[in-house]
Amino acid sequence: MPPLAAEGSDILLFAHNVTENPLGYAWYRGERVDNSQLIASYRVATNLTTKGPAHSGRETFYPNGTLLIQSVTQKDTGSYTLLVTKDDLQTERQTGHLHILPVLPRPVITSNNSNPWEHQDTVVLTCGPETQNTSYMWWISNQSLPNSTRLELSEDKRTLTVFNVTRNDTGPYVCEAWNPVSVSRSDPFTLNVLYPVAQPSLQASNTTVIEHEGPVVLTCLTDETGISIRWFFKGRSLLLAQRMTLSSDNSTLTINPVSRQDAGDYQCEVSNRGNSSRSDPLSLHVKYKLTPESSSDLSAGAIVGIVIGAMAGVALIGALVYFVSRSL
């Protein structure tokens, strides 16, 4: 008989080196010939199979003494004894042991902290579920575990501890569970290691431009990866005008053509899931010429004020002339 078998499979228990012309066979659960543990018996002369108390309904007896057990379970683990009755009515025994192992499910990696802070947190990864007679292996980025003082496996290798995680420890991690009859790997598991992002800097193709000319290109400079970028104008989130375009990664802002309304302080902000950092302000100066059209932009109140001021000036001059003439 096979010493190991996978749960749910069909197995055959064979009779080995059986005497010629036997009168019958009988299979028992256990290592003893006990009628209470009889699975089934078979008489050669009559081709008759008799089921015993230990028959589960999944056993089939063959004329050569082989016993088929279908859809075995872990409860079928144990010893089995074959009793052969020879033509001289003497008997001989054969005993073997059968071990049924489960077909392992796909393991799942769990973590005590999926968003650890770099250089601060320790992460414990566990490969589950826990099953008996199972061995475990780990991979990081499709490679076996490197030798590192920051990596530690539990005695059964089901748990992997990463001390003082760094951004290089993101993974992905894969664990494998195996026993002699099956093997299964987990889906990849990735750590989201949080870390402070460095302050970006802002660079401009030109900080002083003439209105209606351009383009002006503002570039957010950073060495960080896995970040998002936002833009600010005069301390508030930038509202893109039709004259403005952003690159696909938001690192470059282009203004073309430039308007006097674009003058002011610009900043870019980089962020990851942990924190964010904003650049120092960069001032854009826009020069423009006053034109009749721009003069007409004065409000009605301003015009009235100018007229009143002029009239007051005329009246003051007139008063001075009057007093001078009287004094003469």
Whether pLDDT at 263 is above 90: yes
Residue 257 belongs to domain with CATH number: 2.60.40.10
Residues 9, 95 within the same domain = yes
What is the rounded average pLDDT of the residues 195-216? Answer: 94
Shared-domain flag, residues 74 and 17: yes
| 300 pLDDT higher than 70 | no
The C-alpha atoms of residue 117 and residue 103 are separated, in whole angstroms, by: 38
Give domain status of residue 312, yes or no. Answer: no
Pair 216, 273 in one domain? yes
309 assigned to some structural domain: no
- The reply to whether 324 falls in a domain is no
Convert 34-43 to b/e letters by CB count within 10 Å (16 or more is b): eeebbbbbbe
Q: What is the mean pLDDT of residues 318-323?
A: 47
What confidence score (pLDDT) does residue 313 get? 52
Cβ(286)–Cβ(258) below 8 Å: yes
pLDDT of residue 291: 61
Interval 104-125 mean pLDDT:
95
Residue 311 falls within a domain, yes or no? Answer: no
pLDDT on residue 321:
42
Does one domain contain both 112 and 89? no
| Domain limits for position 239 | 201-287
Kindly state whether residues 227 and 181 are assigned to the same domain: no
Is residue 195 in some structural domain? no
Residue 293 belongs to a domain:
no
Structure confidence at residue 133 as a pLDDT band (50, 70, 90): confident
> Per the structure, how many domains does the chain have?
3
